[in-house]
């Protein structure tokens, strides 16, 4: 007989808070009702706060982050346009693959998995593009497969240093609402994310932030599109409506998740994610294992990809974690299949949640012959969490 619940530590879909689940438990209603905009219009405004944009336009497409990728490309680029991309994990690879399938001329820089967007190489290529043939630059903010976060602000600096006019596309699927993102400050033209990660909802919403520059480009773009047409959305969204049946229950859930984020405070949300991630990283270090991210500058605060020792199949760790200890870990993808497992630490989680993840992983590692001292990872993490949580309290006491 199974008791309790299965623990979810994949990097998405993430845990849905009870508040959000209850908010979505509503009867179906009229999507053309006169007051439907009372629900939807504040969602656009709330997402603009999350993306940190005053001037951008937000779109909510029924779909996933992948659908939002396609919407971003097809609405702003033309067949045969040259674009600059980099590939350093499964999701950045899939973005490159989509761009090629949609008929773009992709200049792709292959980077070792564990590193991030090659900002200096971007700057070199952009500087050499004297005729402005590159129409867009793509950057994966957080590579979910490898646990690597890249420097989006650095990409904008590279573009500006070269006086280059290319659009800046960013994949923020596993970063938005968990890691600080600044659409306006970083000059991002198209930011793509989904509902099922930092926003703590079920999958089903592909979310886009679009700059004024990108909106202007959409009026001239000739790539074929139908469902993902910005112009149709703009016309209907102005009053809070949609050109097709929207996922109303997800909208109610999004209203609640935005409330939760703003109640905690976005900066506190980012600080919590950093604290949780650092505890997990310290636990992994105490085991004597390595993570995929090559240096601290690439450490992700939403997912850690843990490399297993030579001869130890990470898939067995994942299987044992699930069947023996009722814990779901993320699998190693593509090049990392069998070589790594991932602990997702984003969304509705706290310090004790992460201690549970480390404890379950520690048991599965030991079951598979990995020489880790019992309690070592959990012990390292809990001491870090104790000290990190005590520090703000001590500062408050000192201020009094």
Q: State whether 165 and 296 are in the same domain.
A: no
35 to 12, 31, 41, 157, 246: CA distances (angstroms): 33, 9, 10, 44, 15
Q: Are residues 62 and 160 in the same domain?
A: yes
The gap between the terminal CA atoms of the chain, to the nearest Å, is: 52
State the pLDDT at residue 294.
96
Domain identity same for 354 and 233: no
Neighbours of 185 (CB within 10 A): 13
Using a cut of 0.75, tell me whether the model's pTM lies above it.
Answer: yes
279 lies in a domain?
A: yes
pLDDT in tens, 219-257: 999 999 999 999 999 999 999 999 999 999 999 999 999
* 346 shares a domain with 316: yes
Q: Encode pLDDT of 158-176 as tens digits.
A: 999 999 999 999 999 999 9
Residue 294 within a domain: yes
Provide the pLDDT for residue 4: 84
E strands in 88-241: 105-110, 134-140, 142-143, 148-149, 167-171, 190-194, 204-210
**Cβ-proximal residues to 90 (8 Å cutoff; 6+ apart), any chain:** 144, 145, 333, 334, 336
Write out the DSSP string of 282-336: HHHHHHT-EESSSSGGGB-SSEEEEEPPTT--HHHHHHHHHHTT-EEEEEP-GGG
- Secondary structure of residue 388 in the 3-state scheme: helix
Which residue segment(s) compose the domain that 84 sits in?
18-263
177 shares a domain with 85: yes
Per-residue pLDDT tens over the stretch 366-384: 999 999 999 999 999 999 9
Which CATH number does the domain housing residue 68 bear? 3.40.640.10
- Same structural domain for residues 231 and 247? yes
Q: Which residue, 224, 242, 263, sits at the end of a domain?
A: 263
Q: How confident is the model at residue 49 (pLDDT cuts 50, 70, 90)?
A: very high
The per-residue pLDDT for 1 is 61
> Residue 42 falls within a domain, yes or no?
yes
∠ Cα 43 152 48 (to 5°) = 15
Q: Which CATH number belongs to the domain containing residue 369 in this structure?
A: 3.90.1150.10
The count of other CB atoms within 10 Å of the CB of residue 310 is 6
Mean pLDDT of the chain: 96
Position 348 pLDDT exceeds 80: yes
């Amino acid at each position: 007989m199974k008791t309790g619940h299965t623990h979810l530590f994949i990097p998405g879909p993430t845990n849905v808070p009870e508040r959000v689940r209850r908010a979505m438990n509503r009867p179906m209603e009229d999507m053309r009702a006169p007051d439907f905009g009372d629900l939807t219009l504040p969602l656009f405004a709330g997402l603009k706060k999350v993306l940190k944009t005053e001037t951008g336009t937000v779109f909510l497409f029924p779909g996933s982050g992948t659908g939002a990728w396609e919407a971003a490309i097809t609405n702003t680029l033309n067949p045969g346009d040259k674009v600059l991309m980099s590939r350093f994990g499964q999701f950045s690879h899939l973005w490159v693959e989509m761009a090629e399938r949609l008929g773009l001329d992709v200049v792709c820089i292959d980077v070792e998995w564990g590193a991030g967007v090659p900002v200096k190489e971007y700057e070199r290529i952009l500087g050499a593009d004297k005729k402005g043939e590159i129409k867009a630059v793509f950057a994966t903010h957080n590579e979910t497969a490898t646990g690597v976060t890249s420097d989006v602000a650095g990409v904008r600096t590279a573009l500006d240093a070269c006086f280059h006019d290319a659009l800046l596309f960013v994949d923020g699927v596993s970063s938005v609402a968990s890691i600080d993102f600044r659409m306006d400050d970083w000059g991002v033209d198209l930011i793509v994310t989904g509902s099922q990660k930092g926003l703590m909802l079920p999958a089903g919403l592909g979310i886009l932030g679009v700059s004024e520059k990108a909106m202007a480009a959409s009026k001239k773009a000739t790539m074929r599109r139908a469902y993902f047409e910005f112009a149709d959305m703009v016309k209907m969204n102005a009053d809070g409506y949609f050109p097709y049946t929207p996922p109303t229950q997800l909208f109610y859930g999004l209203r609640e998740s935005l409330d939760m984020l703003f109640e905690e405070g976005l900066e506190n949300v980012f600080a919590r994610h950093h604290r949780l991630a650092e505890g997990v990283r310290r636990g992994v270090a105490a085991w004597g294992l390595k993570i995929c991210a090559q240096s601290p500058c690439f450490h992700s605060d939403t997912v850690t990809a843990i490399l297993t020792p030579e001869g130890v199949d990470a898939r067995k760790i994942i299987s044992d974690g699930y069947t023996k200890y009722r814990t779901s870990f993320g699998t190693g993808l593509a090049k990392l299949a069998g070589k790594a497992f991932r602990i997702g630490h984003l969304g509705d989680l706290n310090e004790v949640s992460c201690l549970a993840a480390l404890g379950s992983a520690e048991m599965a590692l030991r079951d598979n012959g990995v020489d880790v001292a019992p309690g070592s990872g959990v012990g390292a993490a809990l001491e870090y969490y104790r000290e990190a949580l005590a520090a703000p309290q001590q500062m408050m006491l000192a201020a009094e």
